[in-house]
Amino acid sequence: MSAAKPPFWSDTCVVVTGGAGFLGSFVVEQLSAKGCRRIVVPRSKDYDLVQMDAVQQLYHDANPDIVIHLAARVGGIGANQANPGRFFYDNLMMGTQLIEVGRQRRLRKFVATGTICAYPKFAPIPFREEDIWNGYPEETNAPYGLAKKMMLVQSQAYRQQYGFNSVVLFPVNLYGPRDNFDLETSHVIPALIRKCVAAKESGQASMTLWGDGSPSREFLYVEDAAEGILLAAEQYEDSLPVNLGTGEEILIRELAAMIAAEVGFPGEIRWDTMKPNGQPRRCLDVHRATQLFGFRARHRLSDGLKRTVQWFSANRHAIREVHF
């Protein structure tokens, strides 16, 4: 009778880039819960992953079996408009160099997150992985989206030529506790929560939001995203892109109303139509993730928003802000 197969994460050293950040902190927690005892979280002050020598030093110091690459230079529409060059270069170099040095060191597996911003601006709804190259991304975040999508090209090329085992996942917009709540650089849900809370507390009769409220978005609770990433690490062995999401979309104006109600802001929501809307619609086909490694999101948007608002209310003194 053969011995039982050891747990996947036992005696495995895992580097989680971005492991101190929003998504990464949940990935690290779930890794620990799965029994992984050798988790390395590189900090930017010690390893500037935009620089090749820092990437090489990280691999030398940690000697990982698996790398989960979550680190990114990222923000909302305003941050993308203000930093297109930096977002392109930093994200491109981090991904390219981490994969290349991983190949050189015969890494067991490399797992990376791309971005929904990589999809064409007018991709058919729902976004299917096979449509990812059928058009140019939405202009305000195209440099970021294309830089991250290069990891998919590299993953497929390196698997073909070198047999390098790498996986690139494309999560939809994430939200949840510990998110970036800086109004200049955050994404839509944390920005709306903070604006609604501020408007309520100052007694404003109204608040003004960007665009016209007509775009749709899909949102994935951060704990679900972490679960999907680790399922892919354990079970998925290919370089085809895989979406991570819920498959459900909501209009931004409806989202704003939900958050205002959850926060308790009773005022009017106005729209500044001189500001950009971003991509018209975002909604994913999520069947591939279910078929290939059994991933299904567990949190409904209403429940996730409630948890996020509660966390923000309890942690406002220490909310995370990201400046560029």
Catalytic residues: 144
Q: Please tell me the chain's helix, strand, coil percentages from 3-state DSSP, rounded to the nearest 5.
A: 45, 15, 40
Return the bridge partners of 16, or none.
Answer: 68
Cα 96 to the center of its chain, rounded Å: 18
Rounded distance between C-alpha atoms, residue 209 and residue 205, angstroms: 14
The DSSP symbol for 7 reads: P
CA distances from 203 to 82, 156, 268, 281 (A): 31, 54, 12, 33
Q: Are 300 and 176 in contact (CB under 8 A)?
A: no
Quick check: bond before 64 cis, omega within 30? Answer: no
